[in-house]
Copies of this chain bind each other. A is one copy, B any other.
Amino acid sequence: MSYKDKKVITIGIVSELTGLSERQIRYYEERKLILPDRTKGGTRKFSFLDVERLIDIANKMEDGMQTFEIRKMEKEEKKRTDRKTRDQMIRGQINAAFNIRK
């Protein structure tokens, strides 16, 4: 949707933006912590959101967390976010039905 989610950044740039080595970035992909796109030739393409995630991952790794724990944590965060979004949509429906302004 927005620029933040467009997968357009190659790994070298991502490495610079995050301070992580290319090796680390590829490993985190292997562990399913990030899911870059690929060009036809096979070159990885990342989004700014991926870059943010990687910085977050880097912090968690520094705190001694392991990749599988980080993966779990991210999934739970997503659940929470989805739940919130759903609630807000329902509230929106209700407000619309009663023609209420917030």
Contacts and interface: CB of A to CB of B under 8 A. Distances in A.
A83 B19 CA distance: 39
A3 interface: yes
Copies per assembly: 2
A92 interface: no
Chain A interface size, under 10 / 10 to 19 / 20 to 34 / 35 or more: 10 to 19
A45 B39 CA distance: 17
A9 B8 contact: yes
Interface in A1-39: 3-4, 6, 8-10, 12-13, 17, 39
A75 to B, nearest CB: 25
Interface of A: 3-4, 6, 8-10, 12-13, 17, 39, 45, 48
